[in-house]
Structures are given as structure tokens and as C-alpha cells.
Amino acid sequence: MTAPRPDERGPLALPEPILVVELASVLAGPAVGQFLAELGARVLKIENPRTGGDVTRSWRLDGEAKDRPSAYFASCNRGKESVALDLASAPDRAAAHRILRRADVVLTSYLPGQAERLGTDAATLRSLNPRVVVASISGYGPRTDRAGYDAVVQAETGFLYMNGQPDGPPTKMPVALVDLLAAHQLKQAILLALWRRSLTGEGGEVQVSLHDAAISSLANQGTNWLAAGHDPGRMGSEHPNIVPYGLLVTGRDGRSLLLAVGTDAQFATLCRLLDRAEWAEDERFRTNAARVRHRAVLGGLLRERIAGIDAGALGRALDDARVPAGRVRSVAEALDDVQSARLILRGPGVPGIRQAVFAAEAPDPGPAPMLGAHTDPVLAEFAD
């Protein structure tokens, strides 16, 4: 695969083609690799043929075709070249080192000690190539040997505890949220390290753990506990600090809306559109603080009123009045929306979704590769 010329990569592409070697698997690390591929980097994904490569190659939905990459694998591996090497083998490790000597960025996701055994730890890589940026993802940091699994980290960092209905069980997010949060942190760290290298000529090492990315992302829910002693519990889609924000309502047409009213002025407009302007003057609801105290009463009134009107028409009226509200859509409906079209990669191979949304006009980096599809030409290219 030949890296695009600068004039082909778009104004938000990396300033020069860089070589990324991906030694990571599953979602977080590979998502970073695809992000860099979309920005014009050449990404070589080294996979172990003895174990079948990246485990997500085997994570197929029932009925998926087996003669192409799985949808899961394709979600974060577009635009890469797959090189099949078993790093436990001395000859394959030597071949990998020849590639790694020329890498700008190396993505890894190992348990502590594993990289040293395979000759891909940061110290070894930087001895081979002082300019390389070694970017590592772990579950709990470099000194903890627990494997990092998104669902487990969601459980241990408060996300499951907060998510779900008040009378229901803790609930995992339906995407690997912590993996994606960690990927975003690592993208930022890599770009900063590359900028630093452009000034100093030196590479470096950046590390992100799933645990730390999750804790950092607790945001207002975390500071609600730190500042006010409020340990967030399950509230469905509602917000602990704002009412009616996250309130789900259903109209007589069967459509569901999520209200996201964040200001007193927006609330007054909502009341006017519902022909209940007096609610905005009611002392129980006039301010957000009052609405938080009386959320149950207000929620009941809003649900009852909207159950008697057309939610589709209300949604359009709220949009016109700039009151935040959204129709509850399926994934299929969300991806079919005209605004989503620019983010969907429908080139050859399994379709996918962009990682670099700010560079949505950049060329499609290409399909996700079959295991080992580029081994021979890459090894020939890096033979010296």
C-alpha cells in the first residue's frame, strides 16, 4: 500500500506520511491505528498467525460471511496492511525488528512482562529507533498484570452502577465505551508526542490505561461525589443536576422523545408549546433548582400531557424553537440519516465508520485486510 501524496490527504491530514506499526488487538489500540490511517499514515498491523491473528477476526454475528473480515474487526482496522509474524519465533521477531527500526509510532497492548518477552517493550524499541513514539494501552497501568476488559472496567469504575433504570440492575453500555475513551486519550498523546518530536527530534513513550480513561471520564458525576458527597445511582436517562434533561416521553402517535431542557428559558418555551405556560411560573418548577427538587411531579405532568399529543409534531416544534429534544432512533435509523452519510465508509470490503470525524472529507483509507494479506511484500520491502 502506497501512502497518499500530501495533496491527496486533505488539509487535516498528518503533515507528512508516517509509518505506524500496530501490535495491539481488539478495539482500543486498533481504533487508534485506523484513526491514523484515515489521516494518511501507513499502518502495518502485525498479527500472530499461530493464534489466528487479532481475536476480533473470530467475533462474528450469526450469518456473517466467513470469506471476509468480521464486522467487528472491520470496525477499527480499515486502511491497514496485515503482516503475519509470530514474535515468539526468533526469525519472525528479527523480521519485526527490521520493520520497527523504521517506525514512527508503535501501538501496543500487552500485559506487564509480555512485551519484554517478545522484544517489543519500549526500551528495546527505542534502542532500535530513538525517534519512535511507543504508545501503549493497558488495563490498569504498566505495573498491574490484570488484563483489561472493557466490561470489567465499566463495572469497577462506576459506569455499570450508574447505568440503568432505578429499579433495575446495573447495566453495561452497549458499546465498549471505556475502550473508545482510552483510544481517544491515546490519540491525543500520540499527536502531542509527534509534535514534540518535530521540535526535539526525540521519540518517547506514552501510556494510557482503560481504568484511568474511565475515571477521567466520570466528569460531573465524579465531581458530584467529590464536591457534594452525592454518590450517583441509576436514574435511567435522566440527569442528576438538570431537569427535565434526559426525560423520556411518548406521544399518542407512539413516538418517543428525549427532552434535554437545560435552561429556565428553554423550559418556559416547552411549557408554552405544550399549552401549559403556567407551569413555568409555578414555584415548584420556575428554576432548575426547584425542578430538581420536584423532578418526580414534573416528570409525571410532562409524560401525561405529551401522551395526549403527537410527539412527532412536538419534536419538530421544539427543534424550530431551539429547545433540545431528540427522537429515539435505532442504530439503523441513525446511520441512515443524511447527516451520518459523510462518516460512513462504503468503499471496498466491509463497510465501516470513520474514526477521524474532523477529517471526514479525507479519502477512504481502504478495506480491513485479511490475515497476513501483505506479509510477503512488506517483508521484502523491509528485508534490509
Catalytic residues: 179
- Could you tell me if 153 and 214 are in contact, meaning their C-beta atoms sit under 8 angstroms apart? yes
Calpha distance 39→6 (Å, rounded): 10
Least Cα distance to 375 among 86, 116, 89 occurs for 86
Calpha distance 280→278 (Å, rounded): 5
285 φ, ψ (degrees, to nearest 5): -125, -5
Least Cα distance to 155 among 171, 139, 175 occurs for 171
| CB neighbour burial string for 138-170, b if at least 16 within 10 angstroms, e if fewer | bbbbbeeeeebebebbbebbbbbbbbbeeeeee
CA distances from 125 to 82, 98, 190, 284, 303 (A): 20, 11, 16, 63, 60
User: Bridge partners of 108?
Assistant: 23, 136
Neighbouring residues of 89: CB distance < 8 A, sequence distance ≥ 6: none
**How, if at all, do strands 256-260 and 325-327 pair?**
antiparallel
Q: Up-side HSE of residue 368: CA atoms within 13 Å toward CB?
A: 27
- Could you tell me if 345 and 78 are in contact, meaning their C-beta atoms sit under 8 angstroms apart? yes
Calpha distance 18→30 (Å, rounded): 16
